[in-house]
Amino acid sequence: MLQNDLLSMGELTEEDILDLIDLGIDLKQKLKSGEPHPYLEGQTLGMIFEKSSTRTRVSFETGIYQLGGQGLFLSTNDIQMGRGEPICDTARVLSRYIDGIMIRTFAQETVEQLAEYATIPVINGLTDYAHPCQVLADFMTIKEHKGALRGLKIAFIGDGNNMANSLIAGGLICGMEVAIACPKAYAPHPKILAFAEGKPFTMTDDLYAAAKDADVIFTDVWASMGQEGEAEKRRAAFRGYQVNRELMAAAKPDAMVQHCLPAHRGEEITADVFEEHADEIFDEAENRLHAQKAVMVRLMRK
């Protein structure tokens, strides 16, 4: 259940996810119609980044501003955390100054430790394990396009990474059928596979079986942030794990494509499929803003 923090999809209920999506849609309408919504007036969100970002940084900073607050960009290259100041001290110091923390880092344990020691809400803006803000935006986009989530089939093609982990957990919680196609050596996290056991979940190395009759096809990069040194090896391991026209033909005729971005055309997705589904993919990127505003409102509103 959504309580003080958002650390991963697995801790949310279906009600939490649908509530955040509906609030995101409401905030989107308010923004588009010019209706002010200063629910977090005067509040500050600290945004700790240990990895690069375009969408997460810009959508959180813009989102908190639209809610009447301000964002503080904290690159670990610049704050003492980068020089070894412990997370438990960083958490307690920031809790004395600001109202919420968004963090993008490597280990999920770092985010968990931050949440344990902070007395303010902590939001996971991506770890190697999870990307809950992205999946909330993805599900909001699916709800906008398809009307509902329950009963749909989603298929993820590629690396069993943070996106795969969060889509599997979130999809199963929301009553969707989830299929993942990945090479055996690149399976999702064991904790996620244990969660999926006995639920409408399949993992295969057959892309076409995974994509068959899917309502939504997802993919993501073959080498995530921090894996740049493995890029060559991964390119060989994932060859063929591509969302292309042939694969799309296995999905439902009205299937959507979602990609969290950035995308590598010619690797996990072809340029033609990307462009054919660009409206859905950029709706997805836009919805980061609205879905995250919903998360901030639910966690930070006093």
Q: Provide the annotated binding site for L-ornithine.
A: 162, 220, 224-225
54 binds, among ligand NVA, ligand CP, none (CB under 5 to 8 A by kind): ligand CP
Q: Which of 161, 246, 236, 235 is nearest to 207 (CA)?
A: 246
Confirm or reject binding of residue 225 to ligand NVA (CB under 6 A). Answer: yes
Confirm or reject binding of residue 9 to ligand NVA (CB under 6 A). Answer: no
Binding positions for carbamoyl phosphate are 53-56, 80, 104, 131-134, 260-261, 288
Confirm or reject binding of residue 124 to ligand NVA (CB under 6 A). Answer: no
> Mask: binding to ligand NVA, 148-177, rule CB under 6 A, as x and -?
-------------xxx--------------
Nearer to ligand NVA, 44 or 224 (CB): 224
DSSP 8-state class, residue 287: H
Tokens of 204: 């295969």
Q: Does residue 283 carry a catalytic annotation?
A: no
Q: Does residue 78 carry a catalytic annotation?
A: no
Confirm or reject binding of residue 224 to ligand NVA (CB under 6 A). Answer: yes
Q: How far is the CB of 164 from ligand NVA (least distance, A)?
A: 9
Burial (CB count within 10 angstroms: exposed 0-12, middle 13-18, buried 19+), residue 100: buried
Q: How far is the CB of 218 from ligand NVA (least distance, A)?
A: 11
As a whole number of angstroms, the distance between CA 10 and CA 189 comes to 12
Burial (CB count within 10 angstroms: exposed 0-12, middle 13-18, buried 19+), residue 68: middle
Q: Which of 143, 213, 144, 190 is nearest to 171 (CA)?
A: 143
As a whole number of angstroms, the distance between CA 106 and CA 113 comes to 13
Contact 234, 218 (CB under 8 A): no
Q: Does residue 174 carry a catalytic annotation?
A: no
Confirm or reject binding of residue 8 to ligand NVA (CB under 6 A). Answer: no
Residues found near ligand CP in the complex (CB under 6 A): 53-56, 126, 134, 260-261
Q: Which residues bind ligand NVA (CB under 6 A)?
A: 126, 161-163, 220-221, 224-225, 260
